[in-house]
Structure 1
Amino acid sequence: MVYRIHFTLQDLARTRVSETPLPLLELELAVRALQDRSQPARLDAWRRQARAGMSAQARMALSLMPAVGSTPDFLSPTEAGTPEDVLEHVRATSPRQIQADLADAAEHRSLPTWARHLADDVSLFHEVCTGLSELHASLLGPLWPQLTADFMADRTVRSRHLLTGGVERLLAQANPQWMRWNPPVLEVRMINGADRDLHLEGEGIVLVPSAFCARTIVISPAPFFLTYPALHDQPLRQFTALSPEAEPASAAAVPALLGRTRAAVLTAIAEHPGCSTKELATLTATAPASASEHATVLREAGLIRTLRHRNTALHSPTPLGLALLNARP
């Protein structure tokens, strides 16, 4: 059974990859992953750590976000921005919207009895918002810089697909295990046996790579979003995405990197994330072999990441690399 997404020419023109992660959409996917038992080797250590010391408010928010089923829309807005800004937006949800979203969720599953008072009990709603913030802090907070870096790495690959093969290649290769492009229809395989059609009606769709999405999830109505596993074609990177980051390079190693040419290479990568070695050589007026050598040193020092896509090395800065550049006089 499949979810058939029908594209018009206008839809194809408006289809794109999200520019940044969507904090509360990623949180909803993380909450789903927390409550099921799939991918034990990859997720169980994270699950144990996330559950340790979870507050009562966090458990309240968790009870509104099931492993399978509908989460009230106000708890998982598909908005970009910092986690703090998006959480602040949730706090500003109107009572009418809270009531409507809870009523919609209740049509698909049972909700906690106390949830019926959320729309008219400001104190109770504040507790749920506090719990949502704590959930993000405990489930995603320590991983957020790394998840953001992996998001950008995946976006780099999808952007290359778009540049070299258009929207057709982007849709065909975003997640071939679960999606098949059969022009003008994108067929998404559904594990729940659902069989339906979705017409985008000129709105297009936004693709959102996710660390916690295990397949493909379609979010509607408009604006339409489609999430898929980030770095699915980089199995080792995907498997280690939730592992702690390696220790950054020592302070003594950093000055040794910043000769004039190497500093120019790092700056070029920061200004053109996802650039190839050939592009890096052009940007810094160096030979490709020299650009590759400098990129290797920067990567070993923890200042850049390199993602291999087919025969091309794509370079992006790490948070440490960006911090180093920002600290320069």
Structure 2
Amino acid sequence: MVFRIHFECTDLARTTIAQRPDPLWEVLLGLHILQGDEEPELFGAWRERARSRLSALEQELLALTPPVGYSPDFLTPRAAGDGLDAGLTAVAATPAVQLRSELRRLSDSVRLPAWTRRLATGDTKVMSRLVHGLRSFHRTKIAPQMPMIATTIQPAVARHNDTVASNGFESLIPELHQSLRWEAPVLSVDTPHIDRDLYLEGRGLRLVPSFFCWKYPMMLLDPTLPPVLVYPVRHDPGAPEVVVRRPDRDRAVADLLGKTRALVLKGISIGACSTSELAARVGISMASASEHARILHDTGLVTTHRIGSSVRHSLNPVGADVLSGIRT
């Protein structure tokens, strides 16, 4: 079967090579690798450790990322090319109509848990939990590999840049992957399960190198989204196995939420408290404690109840998952 990408003259001028992996594509493809048994020499140790250390937030991602077939496009937005934070912001801003459409398509091939129905309606608390899960998986399972991944990706991308500069786009295609074939004006991708056409119509194509893309290049399904082709970078057979580094848990929570907000969340985890009690626990002003507690409540990590003229903040299961799930 063949996926055919149709170019116009302007598309060639607008085709670009990403200089580094896309963080959310690496998350998605890492989740695929996690659920299979491919390339045990390279991924075996990483997969075994990662499987045994998935937090509850990370485990929920598996429902949306089956190792074979369709995964929702909204998990890998174009903004992720600008970094993880930009990508996660774009995921959180996915329109409800896109969520409904893509989750409905996914439900045609896999059985989805009940929480995805709330996600499909644009429920902000469920979306916040999903975003925290994506961030956690990247931080604990992908980011520790980046120094090693960079030693694979950077030389490959440098060669690709040189090829385009010296010999043009046509000469680049056989370098990228054996499944790619250029017969102007069509770039064909031999795949085991996709037979369709994508017309770029002047938008160009973004070529993205990937470490966790292990066999075939990957594309988005929705033809209206910015076109992207994620291609596997050949791994050095002598490269060390991917390993999982155990991060400092307190530092990871602070990196996830920000130092002060992490302290506020940990302060609430000690036990339900008023805003004044929280301020005293953390050593911040009442106004600051109130604002941080509000944000944690709005993002679904904390539950706030009003009792008369005062409020009580308590940790809910999502917040507990964040505190306990930032681990390898």
Q: What range is the shorter-chain TM-score in?
A: 0.5 to 0.7
Instruction: State the SS of the aligned residue for 2:168.
Output: helix
Instruction: State the SS of the aligned residue for 1:68.
Output: coil
Could you give the per-residue CA deviations for residues 141-166 of structure 1, whole angstroms, max 9, x where no partner exists?
20123324433322111101101110
The match for 1:309 is none
Instruction: State the SS of the aligned residue for 2:237.
Output: helix
Instruction: State the SS of the aligned residue for 2:230.
Output: strand
The match for 1:13 is 13
Check if 1:228 corresponds to 2:194.
Answer: no
Measured at CA, do residues 45 and 241 of structure 1 come closer, stay the same or move farther in structure 2, by a change above 3 Å? closer
The match for 1:264 is none
Whole-Å separation in 1 of the counterparts to 2:241 and 2:163: 22
Contact 2:174 2:181 in 1 (8 A): yes
The match for 1:197 is 197
Instruction: State the SS of the aligned residue for 1:10.
Output: helix
* Residue 130 of structure 2, aligned match among 122, 128, 136: 128
Identity %: 34
Instruction: State the SS of the aligned residue for 1:80.
Output: helix
Whole-Å separation in 2 of the counterparts to 1:125 and 1:8: 38
CA-CA distance at 1:133 after TM superposition: 1.6
Instruction: State the SS of the aligned residue for 1:202.
Output: coil
CA-CA distance at 1:96 after TM superposition: 4.5
**Runs (5+) with no aligned partner, structure 1:** 246-329
What pairs with 1:1-329 in structure 2 (closer than 5 Å)?
1-78=1-78, 79-118=80-119, 119-175=121-177, 177-192=178-193, 194-214=194-214, 215-220=216-221, 221=223, 222-230=225-233, 232=234, 235-236=236-237, 239-240=239-240, 242=242
Contact 1:147 1:241 in 2 (8 A): no
Whole-Å separation in 1 of the counterparts to 2:32 and 2:65: 7
Whole-Å separation in 1 of the counterparts to 2:134 and 2:196: 32
Whole-Å separation in 2 of the counterparts to 1:148 and 1:186: 27
Contact 1:146 1:241 in 2 (8 A): no
Whole-Å separation in 1 of the counterparts to 2:58 and 2:244: 23
Contact 2:5 2:188 in 1 (8 A): yes
Instruction: State the SS of the aligned residue for 1:156.
Output: helix
CA-CA distance at 1:76 after TM superposition: 2.2
Whole-Å separation in 2 of the counterparts to 1:244 and 1:130: 19
Contact 2:141 2:244 in 1 (8 A): no
Instruction: State the SS of the aligned residue for 1:125.
Output: helix
Instruction: State the SS of the aligned residue for 2:71.
Output: coil
Number of equivalenced pairs: 240
Whole-Å separation in 2 of the counterparts to 1:57 and 1:122: 15
Instruction: State the SS of the aligned residue for 1:204.
Output: coil
Specify the code of the residue in structure 2 equivalent to 1:111.
Answer: L
CA RMSD, 1 decimal: 2.4
CA-CA distance at 1:6 after TM superposition: 2.0
Which one has more relative contact order, counting CA pairs under 8 Å at least 6 apart? 2
- Give the TM-score of the pair, scaled to structure 1: 0.66
Instruction: State the SS of the aligned residue for 2:47.
Output: helix
Instruction: State the SS of the aligned residue for 2:202.
Output: coil
